[in-house]
Amino acid sequence: MQLEELKFDQNGLLPVIAQDWHSGEVRMFAWANKEAIELSLKTGFAHYYSRSRGSIWKKGETSGELQRIVDIRIDCDGDAILYLIIQEKNIACHTGERNCFFKSLKDPSQGISISPFEILKRLEEIILSRLEEAPEGSYTARLASEGKDRVFQKFGEEAIETLIALKNEDEKAITDEVSDLLYHLLLSLSMKNIPIEKVLLELISRVKP
């Protein structure tokens, strides 16, 4: 489907969802006209159309919270689009939250939740912040201070414990040990400056159509 085939509404607009390329979380919702989409494709940064101001705006132009375009996808009917983006400073909402969808109608009392598909990237972000800030009492900072070899050794220990849990067929032990294993894997990758998406992209490359 080409840009000319998009089904804009009577005001020449399309709804746009901005989805994080790293974590998969929905960052925000906005509107775009044809020119905004063309600018997004041309510049590599997300542009939208403000209905209140009646003009095109580049996300983050004043705040620095730019959204780099990885891909733009069109829905099957051509009447909505998806911006796959990298949020430059990790805050998409004007309230200071990571994304605009942090309030629950189903349970207004619940705090900000993390979906399963987001957790690896979110955990990696937490690990990186612990490595950088080294807060007192942080297990991550303490283990990292003992050096890379100690971190890799700990990852190996967790791998063995995971194998034992799998062998014993204890579901609770398996989930606990795999969780520990994934954490120490992310820490090991972070110590080598390898982001988790490099591993995920390698997995994607191995998928047979």
- Say whether both 120 and 202 belong to one domain: yes
Residue 16, domain CATH: 3.10.20.810
H-helix segments, the chain: 34-43, 119-133, 139-145, 148-168, 171-191, 196-206
The answer to whether residue 99 sits within a structural domain is no
Residue 147, domain CATH: 1.10.287.1080
Terminus-to-terminus CA distance in the chain, angstroms?
A: 21
Count of C-beta atoms within a 10 Å radius of residue 107: 8
Q: Residue 71 sits in which domain range?
A: 3-87
The answer to whether residue 109 sits within a structural domain is no
Condensed to tens digits (0 to 9), the pLDDT of residues 151-163 reads 999 999 999 999 9
Dump strand ranges (E) for 53-183: 55-58, 67-74, 81-87
Number of domains in the chain: 2
Condensed to tens digits (0 to 9), the pLDDT of residues 132-176 reads 999 999 999 999 999 999 999 999 999 999 999 999 989 999 999
The answer to whether residue 97 sits within a structural domain is no
- Say whether both 121 and 190 belong to one domain: yes
- Say whether both 67 and 128 belong to one domain: no
Count of C-beta atoms within a 10 Å radius of residue 61: 11
CA distance 186 to 182: 6
Condensed to tens digits (0 to 9), the pLDDT of residues 13-37 reads 999 999 999 999 999 999 999 999 9
- Say whether both 123 and 78 belong to one domain: no
pTM over 0.95: no
The answer to whether residue 93 sits within a structural domain is no
Q: Is the pLDDT of residue 177 over 90?
A: yes
Tell me which H or E stretch contains 167: helix 148-168
Is 28 within 8 Å of 93 (Cβ atoms)? yes
* DSSP helix/strand/coil, 155: helix
Q: Between β-strands 67-74 and 81-87, what pairing exists: parallel, antiparallel or unpaired? A: antiparallel
The answer to whether residue 182 sits within a structural domain is yes
The answer to whether residue 105 sits within a structural domain is no
Sign of the torsion formed by the C-alpha atoms of 158, 163, 168 and 173: positive
The answer to whether residue 95 sits within a structural domain is no
- Say whether both 81 and 148 belong to one domain: no
Condensed to tens digits (0 to 9), the pLDDT of residues 55-75 reads 999 999 999 999 999 999 999
Identify the domain boundary among 87, 103, 128.
Answer: 87
The answer to whether residue 59 sits within a structural domain is yes
CA distance 186 to 191: 9
CA distance 140 to 133: 11
What residues have CB less than 8 Å from 61, skipping those under 6 apart?
Answer: none
